[in-house]
């Protein structure tokens, strides 16, 4: 399954991210791919804030690597794996366990290697001209296909 959108700026990217909240549930994994500055953290922040009763600051976990948030949907883990140097760190962070029971958003999922969940939703953000971005949603999971058709109607 693959669905592509063109975002004309940060506000449209935020709206795309926020739309995902309608069908999120524990055990969902969202993998955010894109080069530095593409908007991965903006996407994650917008999605997380859209699930909060009271909006709070959602900083990029670049230095902390993992941040957790209590939301209306339960716990959301936001991981930025850019600084990881070894896959053993993924286990130390508790990510593998979180994949089963929490909503997990991962920036730089390439660092997961063979540990990358096959049923995850991948969101690739590609920089176009000016503030435009191509946002590509893809998954091997039929569950995501059905949920995205409901959520991301063009």
> Which pLDDT score, from 0 to 100, does residue 154 have?
46
For the chain, which ranges sit under pLDDT 70?
A: 153-154
- 52 token code pair: 């909060």
Nearest CA among 7, 16, 20 for reference residue 120: 20
Residue 74: enclosing H or E segment and its boundaries? strand 74-80
> Which pLDDT score, from 0 to 100, does residue 79 have?
97
Q: Which residues have C-beta within 8 Å of that of residue 72, sequence separation ≥ 6?
A: 51, 52, 53
Q: Which CATH superfamily is domain 2-151 in?
A: P-loop containing nucleotide triphosphate hydrolases (3.40.50.300)
Render pLDDT for 104-131 as a digit per residue (tens, 0 to 9).
999 999 999 999 999 999 999 999 998 9
In the chain, where the domains are located: 2-151
> Which pLDDT score, from 0 to 100, does residue 22 have?
86
């Amino acid at each position: 399954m693959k669905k592509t959108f063109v975002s004309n700026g940060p506000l449209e990217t935020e709206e795309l991210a926020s739309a995902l909240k309608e069908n999120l549930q524990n055990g969902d994994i969202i993998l955010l791919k894109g080069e530095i500055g593409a908007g991965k953290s903006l996407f994650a922040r917008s999605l997380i804030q859209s699930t909060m009763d009271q909006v709070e600051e959602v900083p990029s976990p670049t230095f902390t690597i993992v941040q957790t948030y209590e939301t209306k949907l339960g716990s959301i883990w936001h991981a930025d794996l850019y600084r990881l140097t070894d896959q053993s760190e993924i286990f130390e962070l508790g990510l593998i366990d979180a994949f089963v029971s929490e909503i997990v958003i991962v920036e730089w999922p390439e660092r997961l290697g063979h540990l990358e969940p096959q049923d995850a939703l991948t969101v690739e953000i590609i920089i176009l001209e000016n503030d435009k971005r191509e946002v590509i949603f893809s998954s091997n999971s039929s569950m995501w296909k059905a949920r995205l058709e409901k959520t991301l109607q063009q």
